[in-house]
Amino acid sequence: MAAELERLCLRAGMADVVAQILAAEGDFQRPTGYRDWTAKDLLAHLSSTQAALVAVATSQASTDRPEERFDSDRWNAGQVRRRAEQPVAALKEELSAARAELDAVLAELPVAETIGTGPYAGEAAAIVMATMIEHQRGHLAELTRTLGSPSS
């Protein structure tokens, strides 16, 4: 029952943060103050991260290959560059589709099993997913500061 409740909380947390990101409106060309990214770059980062979380959540540690240190800064920069020409609407569509796919994974997440890839390899799946929700909430706050409130 505890694992089921934990999965439910992860699903609700992810749904909430993604809904707030999708509701963001404004001038996505404005600089965020985070790195040299615009609001659109930050949206691209959020979208690419969401899309990658399915693979992260379902990854298993491999004993047949040496462990490589994951360079999240390099990966993130590459993902943002790949999405540079995407319009905001397409990034939001990707984010929404990825959230739906991740929701199905979170519904069955083996919360105590360890993640096998990415910067959190070796940590419990539930902890990693909760960390990623908070990571996205932090970026949501930056996006909200950049774009202003809906009434601005």
Query: What's the pLDDT score for residue 26?
Result: 95
Which residue has 């993902």 as its token pair?
79
Joined tokens for residue 61: 């540690």
Phi, psi of 148 (to 5 degrees): 85, 170
Query: What's the pLDDT score for residue 102?
Result: 95
pLDDT, tens digit, for every residue of 12-47? 999 999 999 999 999 999 999 888 899 999 999 999
**What are the residue ranges of helices labelled H in the chain?**
2-23, 39-58, 72-82, 88-107, 125-147
Joined tokens for residue 128: 């990693």
- Please name which of 47, 64, 146, 148 lies closest in space to residue 101, comparing C-alpha atoms: 47
Give me the CATH code for the 2-147 domain, please: 1.20.120.450
Spans in the chain with pLDDT lower than 50: 63-64, 66, 150-152
Query: What's the pLDDT score for residue 119?
Result: 81
Task: Quote the pTM value.
Answer: 0.86
Query: What's the pLDDT score for residue 152?
Result: 39
